[in-house]
Structure 1
Amino acid sequence: MSELVFDTVSVRYGSRRRALTAVHGASLTLPSGQVVGLVGESGSGKSTLARAAVGLAPLTAGRILLDGADARRPRGRHRPVQMVFQDPYASLDPRMSVGASVAEALPRGTKGPERRAEVARLLEQVDLDPGRAALLPSQLSGGQRQRVAVARALAGRPRVVIADEITSALDVSVQGTVLNLVRDVQRRLDLTMLFISHDLAVVRYVSDHIAVMHLGRIVEAGPTDEVLTDPRHPYTRELLAAVPRRGRTGQDDGTPAVPDTLAATEPADPHHPPPGCPYHPRCPAGPLVLAGRDACRTEDPAEDAATRPHRAACHFAAPTAPARPQPPRP
């Protein structure tokens, strides 16, 4: 078991006026042997943070530590942090057989019969018939290709696995099967995992902890049930309010309705985020709605987030949020 720590990580692309800060001072801990779900709307920086952990995105500032050591430093062919990507077809070489793709990730020195036996074992571990090892990715379904991608990640004998939107490209009928597989493998191997999704119901199903990301920042984090039943950041509450629920006809859960002026406001430009709290121009509890909250315009709430419940990056983090139903299980 291993603990992965993102310590004030920033990822910045470009320079000067055209620069884009995709991740801004993100701090997050993945406890050993547990699953942390990372949620947020498209463009919030979730995938960039994941890619930084495996060395596919540059670090502008901060550190990523695995049990206190640099997680990005090469250790020969051994990669203790492995990633499963969103599109399984794009992440597998279409010219290589399933078995060859999995075998390529095995540790150096695994040869001959031992290599073939290990590939068969890994395919069985993800509920795939080892007889399919000779097939090409194009000869498999989307769900089967994603299982191969999981087997390939496990072939590297990782201590941490990052799953980036691994069900979003799959049919709904297949998503539940893949989620059950991921949860079963994680528990059986006692892996530490970062599970990225925009679907709160999926994250609730697989995660022990949850972190919410907005405009490159972690704005709230804590145990899954606590965050989803008692959210402290307005952005988290807005994400929950957007979850469809049976019989729902509007704002019937105690959450104030979003004023029309805010609903029509465009999201902040990530190239030029507003000063203070980046969420304040769209915040239903911010200075455009409530008096006496001018601090949101000028002061960054992330600086003292550690002193608030769920490390909420909000000057006026709700002490108690209205009770609301949790997202349905998938």
Structure 2
Amino acid sequence: MSELRFEGVTVRYGRALTAVDGVDLTVPSGQVVGLVGESGSGKSTLARAAVGLAELAGGRILLDGVPLRDRRPLQMVFQDPYSSLDPRMTIGDSIAEAAAKGPRGARRDEVARLLELVGLDADRASTYPGALSGGQRQRVAIARALAGRPEVLIADEITSALDVSIQGTVLNLVRTLQRELRLSMLFISHNLAVVRYVSDIVAVMYLGRIVEAGPARDVLGNPQHPYTKELLAAAPRRGSTSLPPPDEALRLVADAEPADPHHPPAGCRFHPRCPIGPLIRTDREHCLTLDPTTEADHRLHRAACHHAAGVLRAVGSNPPVLKELKEDLQ
């Protein structure tokens, strides 16, 4: 088991787009961190930076306190099982290619072991990807990732391209493997219900920044950032057949234009869509200019919101600061 840590990580595409902006995030040893956010929030870019597929413009990524350089004991399972496997290679060859070098017989045994580990018959090794279903291909992709004996596994939207009937099976497999192999895992999804199912810790990402993070039960049971609350409200619920009537404030911000990631808003990046922000409350114009991430460490779940409801009790070591924060939140 190993700890993966992002410190001030920034990733840019050209000069115009900062896809990840100063992200601090820790994947503790042996735990699952669920990273959630809508498309374009920077989740996949952060994952690609971890495995060396996206160049850092700033910050660093550490494994057990040591910066990642050429040696990257991380493996990634990608979103699309139909494009992540070479159609010209048997699935056994694809898995063997990622496994440690050794005698042919030993590698064949390792392929059989990995296939059985992900719930596939060992005799499938001679099968080509085109003969497999999407769920089976994703199992093969997981087996190939495990062949590299990773210390950290990154799963990027691994169920979003699958039928709903298959998603639960793959999620159960991932959760079982993580526990049995005691892997550290960064699990990425836009679906908060999926993240809630597999994660010990939840981090919420919006326009390249982490806006809330903490233990899954705490964040989902007592969300501090309005964006997290919005994601929770949109998550499907068992037995629900209809959407609840929209809140008046949500109705007012529903028509707001999505922020342009090439030109993110000043101040709080969520303010153009925020149901408790300046679009609704004229007394909150400071959200237009003041960046809430600068004081996030003093708020519950490190919430990047000037009006988060909670304040970390640990700040009590500096009573004047705590008093000012409480006054700001009133």
After TM superposition, is the score higher than 0.5? yes
Q: Does 1:112 align with 2:104?
A: yes
Q: 1:193 to 1:249 in 2, by over 3 A?
A: closer
In the alignment, structure 1 segments of 5+ residues that lack a partner are: 321-330
Cα distance in 2 for residues equivalent to 1:141 and 1:247? 30
Using the TM superposition, give the Cα deviation of residue 260 of structure 1 relative to its aligned residue in structure 2, in angstroms: 4.0
Deviation at 1:234, TM superposition (A): 0.7
**Structure 2: distance between partners of 1:244 and 1:128:** 30
Output one character per residue of 1:58-77: Cα deviation in whole Å (capped at 9) or x when no partner.
11111110001122x123xx
Q: Does 1:57 find its partner at 2:54?
A: yes
Q: Residue 249 of structure 1: CA displacement?
A: 4.9
Confirm or deny that 1:23 pairs with 2:23. no
CA offsets 1:152-197 (integer angstroms, 9 cap, x no match): 0000000000000001111111111111110010000000000111
Name the CA distance, whole Å, in 2 between partners of 1:260 and 1:90. 39
Query: Could you tell me how far apart the structure 2 residues matched to 1:104 and 1:27 are?
Result: 34
Assess, with a 3 A threshold, how the Cα gap between structure 1 residues 129 and 288 changes in structure 2: closer, same or farther: same
Question: Is the Cα contact below 8 Å between 2:20 and 2:42 reproduced in 1?
Answer: yes
Provide the C-alpha distance between the structure 2 equivalents of 1:249 and 1:198, rounded to a whole number of angstroms. 19
- 1:83 is aligned, of 69, 76, 82, to 76
Give the structure 2 partner of residue 250 of structure 1: 244
Letter in 1 for 2:9: V
**TM-score normalised to the size of structure 2?**
0.91
**For 1:27 and 1:230, how far apart are their aligned partners in 2?**
21
Alignment pair present for 1:132 and 2:124: yes
Residue 166 of structure 1 corresponds to 158
C-alpha deviations, 1:213-272, integer Å up to 9, x for none?
0001100000111111110001111111122441655248xxx53354421111111111
Secondary structure of the corresponding residue to residue 37 of structure 1:
strand
Change (3 A) 1:114 1:247: closer
Is 1:148 the counterpart of 2:144? The answer is: no
Aligned twin of 1:324: none
What does residue 220 of structure 2 align with? 228
Query: Which residues of 2 match residues 147-296 of structure 1 at below 5 A?
Result: 147-245=139-237, 246=240, 249-251=243-245, 256-296=247-287
Which residue of structure 2 aligns with residue 326 of structure 1? none
Q: Which residue of 2 aligns with 1:46?
A: 43
1:32 aligns with 2:29: yes
Asked if the contact 2:203/2:210 (under 8 Å) is kept, the reply is yes
Matched residues in 2 for 1:55 and 1:66: separation? 13
Residue 67 of structure 2 corresponds to residue 74 of structure 1: no
Look up the SS of the partner of 1:90 in the other structure: coil
Indicate the residue corresponding to 1:14 in structure 2. 14
Gaps of 5+ in 2: 312-330
Percent sequence identity is: 68
Indicate the residue corresponding to 1:325 in structure 2.
none
Distance 1:241 1:298, change over 3 A: same
Shift of 1:289: 1.2
Would you say the 8 A contact 1:251–1:257 is kept in 2?
no
Partner Cα separation in structure 1 for residue 233 and residue 91 of structure 2:
42
Deviation at 1:318, TM superposition (A): 2.0
**2:288 maps to which of 282, 293, 297:** 297
Letter in 2 for 1:113: G
Distance in structure 2 (CA, Å) of the matches to 1:251 and 1:194: 34
Aligned 8 A contact 1:164 1:196 in 2: yes
SS of the aligned residue for 1:8 comes to: strand
Distance, in Å, in 2 between the alignment partners of 1:261 and 1:170 is 35
Q: Distance in 2 between matches of 1:83 and 1:133?
A: 21
Aligned equivalents of 1:251, 1:45: Cα separation in 2: 31
Q: What amino acid maps onto 2:205 in structure 1? A: M
Structure 1 runs of 4+ off > 6 angstroms? none
Inter-partner Cα distance in structure 2 for 1:193 and 1:134: 30
Q: Name the CA distance, whole Å, in 2 between partners of 1:274 and 1:211.
A: 21
Q: Could you give the per-residue CA deviations for residues 37-83 of structure 1, whole angstroms, max 9, x where no partner exists?
A: 01111111110010000000111111110001122x123xxx41110
Q: Against the structure 1 CA distance between its residues 114 and 259, is the aligned structure 2 distance closer, same or farther, given a 3 Å change threshold?
A: closer
SS in 2 for 1:277: coil
- Is the contact between residue 95 and residue 147 of structure 2 (CA under 8 Å) also seen in structure 1? yes
Hey, what does 1:100 align to over in structure 2? 93
Measured on the aligned residues, the alpha-carbon RMSD in Å equals 1.4
Structure 2 counterpart of 1:204, which letter? R
